Amino acid sequence: MNLQDKIRVISDFPKQGISFKDITTLLKDPEAFRTAVKQMADFCHERPVDLIVGVESRGFILGAPLAYELGVGFALVRKPGKLPGDILRVEYDLEYGKDALEIHRDAIAPGMRIVLVDDLLATGGTIGAAAQLVEKVGAKISGCTFLIELTFLAGRSRLAGYDIQTLVQYQD
């Protein structure tokens, strides 16, 4: 199955010049959704994994069934102010400003082997910050898996040293 055929591309959304990759069309197709999760699971089976960490918010949609498929736990990385309790926080640079991500301090134990999951690898800033959170507690990144990669934004270069899987690549 060609997963790219299941992703709707919407021109000029959310603003002029942007080509939005809408995964809702893939998610509503049970065979395509299962295929995507299975391909991510195949990637994970090739490395040690103790926990899947999904990045807000579409990383939750893919990460939770992936964790279930692998028989491991699942943890959330969220935008600031969304998690109760004791959190760890990492700030990162955007093109025009800063943003931050947070995780519960007790979500990951030192030495755990983590696979990070998100729907999209673009510039690599968000997933790079998520990796910093994981490593801040002494855990190890076993890999990063994404449904889509926008190769023209070179996000992979910000993730040097990590094993990366992307299921669908867009060149522009």
Distance CA 105, CA 150 (A): 31
**pLDDT per position as a tens digit, 52-82:** 999 999 999 999 999 999 999 999 999 999 9
Distance CA 21, CA 146 (A): 13
**pLDDT per position as a tens digit, 100-156:** 999 999 999 999 999 999 999 999 999 999 999 999 999 999 999 999 999 999 999
User: What's the CATH number for 48-170?
Assistant: 3.40.50.2020
Specify whether the CB–CB gap between 145 and 165 falls below 8 A: yes
Full-model pTM: 0.95
- Looking at the annotation, which residues are catalytic? 58, 95
Residue 94 confidence (pLDDT) above 80: no
The domains of the chain are located at 48-170
**CA separation, residue 47 to residues 12, 51, 88, 108, 142 (Å):** 39, 12, 26, 18, 6
Average pLDDT over the chain, rounded to an integer: 96
Residue 42 confidence (pLDDT) above 70: yes
CA end-to-end span of the chain: 22
Banded model confidence at residue 163, pLDDT cuts 50, 70, 90: very high
